[in-house]
Amino acid sequence: MADERRVPEPTELVYPARSSWLPLLVAAGLVALGVSIFKGLPYAVVGAVVFLIALRRWTVETREDLDRLPRRQRLTTAVIPAEPLRRPGTDS
């Protein structure tokens, strides 16, 4: 009886994203561009360079990660045992 209720192992694979500093660098570049409104042109130049380089690298890394994913997976569904929510004879 216990063997009938066992859920089979999943066959789908999970591919979590790698951690990266690039989103932080993109945000820092945008902050430097915002600060340049009050502080001057050097902040704008540095912010724009940091922003563009980090955004480009982030895009390339994302594309490389997506290219590594398999195009097709064999999908199966697990059979979930049907159990009543309440036991017969109880009203609570």
C-alpha span between 48 and 33 (Å, rounded): 7
* Length, in residues, of the chain: 92
What does the pLDDT look like over 40-68, one tens digit per residue? 999 999 999 999 999 999 999 999 888 88
What pLDDT sits at residue 27?
A: 97
63 vs 15, more confident: 63
Mean pLDDT score of the chain, rounded to an integer? 81
Q: Which of 67, 63, 82, 70 is nearest to 11 (CA)?
A: 70
